[in-house]
């Protein structure tokens, strides 16, 4: 056993440390709020680590002393045990240490909590995120550029600019968490919560619903892209454009299937006849990184599979099976895949 422990030790360490980086890690902060949470976590780790080592040390010392006493001559009646004399001193020390540790942790949590609750002054980007079983509706409202548009399951944020995020829920309680940037914050039906994220590093991050909300809670992810202000402007300019009416007859056929097969009663495609509000807005579906709130990376094939049998990819989700023949399905996939 000892030999295998020695062999596995370095790998175990690598495995443990690997959890500290990546696109979904609270220990690899890419924004102000996540950095504050991470520093509180580090403080807690140090205090708890030192306490743990001290307890182990004193336990070992007590065992050693008790063994030595047992080996020595027996005490006569009325004689105090040598171990009992420093007991009061040790007790005072332990209580003092515990109170001091808890006090530092309490003050630390309070200060960080106040910092996180602070609304950023100035022209923050405004985004409203509504959680539904099991996807995210994302509405952008930019007071500086006077832009408004809706997307789903993805969030784009410009680097170095605070984003004020309004959080609501359409059905049950969910929780918004992008570990590298900040959170968690619950989304509660009938209530509006707020969260500010100030990203400081560009990259792709993964958000995840962090409150159990039903069968597909695990498949309720959010793709987060932190990009340069110019890339963000280009993206948002594109997103606010309505979808163009298809001129290709095959795409036009797909659009007719979309409307005729009742897809349009749940989904909206900006600029066209689809205005449904029950499911995700599909105006620029094919420009997204993933499908069905992170269930699969986006591709034409994944889209076709999803439409052919939505329950096999994400069992229990509210997307019904749409009866289409293979030709209609192909036209529908072509049309949706053209919504870049
Ligand atoms: Cu939404 Cu868990």
Residues 291 and 299: their CA atoms lie apart, in Å, by 8
Q: Are 332 and 324 within 8 A, CB to CB?
A: yes
In 3D space, the residue among 327, 256, 244 whose CA is nearest the CA of residue 286 turns out to be 244
Give me the pLDDT at residue 16, please: 63
**Which residues sit with their C-beta closer than 6 Å to ligand 1?**
131, 134, 174, 209, 211-213, 217, 220
Q: Which domains does the chain have, with CATH numbers?
A: 21-63+87-228 (2.60.40.420), 249-337 (2.60.40.420)
**Does the pLDDT at position 82 exceed 60?**
no
Is pLDDT above 70 for 15?
no
Q: Model's pTM, two decimal places?
A: 0.85
Atom of ligand 1 nearest to the CA of 133: 1
> Distance, CA 154 to ligand 1 centroid (Å)?
15
Q: How far is the CA of 186 from the centre of ligand 1 (A)?
A: 10
Task: Output the average pLDDT for the chain.
Answer: 88
Which ligand 1 atom is nearest residue 131's CA? 1
Nearest 5 degrees, angle CA 21-CA 234-CA 178? 25
Residue 208 Cα to ligand 1 midpoint, Å, equals: 8
User: In the prediction, which pLDDT does 28 show?
Assistant: 92
Span from the CA of 153 to the centroid of ligand 1 (angstroms): 13
pLDDT(72) > 80: no
44 pLDDT tier (thresholds 50, 70, 90):
very high
**How do residues 210-244 score in pLDDT, each as one tens digit?**
999 999 999 999 999 999 999 999 999 999 888 88
In whole angstroms, give the CA distance from residue 41 to residue 27: 9
pLDDT band at 175 (very low <50, low <70, confident <90, very high): very high
- Atom of ligand 1 at shortest range from CA of 211: 2
pLDDT value, residue 317: 93
* Ligand 1 centroid distance, CA of 144 (Å): 32
| pLDDT, position 225 | 97
Mean pLDDT comparison of 76-90, 164-178, 231-245, highest-scoring range: 164-178
Say if residue 107's pLDDT is above 90. Answer: yes
Give the atom of ligand 1 at the shortest distance from the alpha carbon of 217.
2
Atom of ligand 1 nearest to the CA of 174: 1
Q: What is the pLDDT of residue 84?
A: 60
Q: What pLDDT does 270 receive?
A: 84
Cα(228) to centroid of ligand 1, in Å?
30
Which pLDDT score is estimated for 271?
Answer: 76
Residue 145 has pLDDT above 70, yes or no: no
Three-state SS across the chain?
CHHHHHHHHHHHHHHHHHCCCCCCCCCCCCEHHHHHHHHHHHHHHHHHHHHHHHHHHHHHHHHHHHHHHHHCCCCCCCCCCCCCCCHHHHHHHHHHHHHHHHHHHHHHHHHHHHHHHCCCCCCCEEEEEEEECCEEEEEEEECCCCEEEEEECEEEEECCCCEEEEEEECCCCEEEEECCCEEEEEECECCCEEEEECECCCEEEEEECCCCCCCCHHHCEEEEEEECHHHHHHHHHHHCCCCCCCCCHHHHHHHHHHHHCCHHHCCECCCCCCECCCCCCCCCHHHCCEECCCCEECCHHHHHHHHHCHHHHCCCCCCCCCCCCHHHHHHHHHHHHCCC
pLDDT at residue 293, as a whole number: 94
Give the pLDDT band of residue 124 (cuts 50, 70, 90): confident
Q: Measure the N-to-C terminal CA separation of the chain; round to a whole number of Å.
A: 56
Indicate which residue's Cα is closest to atom 1 of ligand 1. 174
* Closest C-alpha to 41, from 31, 27, 29: 27
Residues 6+ apart with CB under 8 A from 24: 179, 180, 205, 206, 207, 208
What tens digit of pLDDT does each residue of 176-197 get?
999 999 989 999 999 999 999 9
Centre of ligand 1 to C-alpha 320, Å, is 20
> pLDDT tens digits, residue range 275-323?
888 999 999 999 999 999 999 999 999 999 999 999 999 999 998 888 7
Pick the atom of ligand 1 nearest to 218's CA.
2
Instruction: Grade residue 104 by pLDDT with cuts at 50, 70 and 90.
Output: very high
């Amino acid at each position: 056993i000892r030999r295998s422990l020695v062999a596995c030790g370095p790998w175990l360490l690598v495995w443990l440390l690997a959890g500290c980086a990546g696109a979904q890690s609270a220990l690899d902060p890419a924004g102000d709020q996540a950095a504050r949470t991470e520093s509180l976590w580090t403080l807690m780790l140090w205090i708890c680590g030192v306490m743990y080592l001290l307890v182990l040390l004193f336990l070992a010392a007590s065992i050693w002393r008790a063994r030595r006493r047992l080996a020595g001559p027996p005490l006569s009646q009325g004689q105090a045990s040598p171990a009992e004399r420093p007991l009061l001193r040790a007790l005072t020390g332990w209580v003092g240490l515990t109170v001091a540790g808890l006090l530092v942790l309490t003050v630390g949590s309070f200060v960080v909590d106040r910092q996180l609750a602070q609304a950023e002054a100035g022209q923050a980007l405004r985004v409203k995120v509504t959680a539904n079983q099991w996807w995210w509706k994302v509405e952008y409202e930019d007071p500086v550029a006077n832009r408004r548009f809706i997307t789903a399951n993805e969030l784009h944020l410009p680097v170095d600019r605070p984003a004020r995020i309004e959080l609501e829920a359409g059905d049950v309680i969910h929780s918004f968490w992008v570990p590298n940037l900040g959170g968690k914050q619950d989304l509660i039906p009938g209530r509006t919560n707020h969260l500010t994220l100030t990203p400081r590093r560009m990259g792709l991050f993964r958000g995840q619903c962090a409150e159990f909300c039903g069968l597909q809670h695990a498949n309720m992810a959010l793709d987060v892209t932190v990009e340069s202000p110019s890339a963000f402007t280009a993206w948002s300019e594109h997103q606010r454009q309505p979808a163009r009416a298809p001129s290709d007859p095959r795409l036009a056929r797909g659009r007719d299937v979309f409307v005729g097969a009742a897809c349009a009663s749940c989904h909206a495609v900006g600029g066209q006849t689809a205005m449904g509000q029950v499911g995700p807005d599909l105006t620029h579906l094919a420009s997204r990184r993933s499908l069905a709130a992170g269930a699969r990376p986006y591709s034409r094939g994944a889209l076709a599979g999803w439409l052919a049998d939505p329950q096999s990819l994400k069992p229990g989700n509210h997307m019904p099976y749409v009866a289409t023949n293979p030709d209609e399905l192909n036209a529908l996939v072509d049309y949706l895949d053209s919504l870049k």
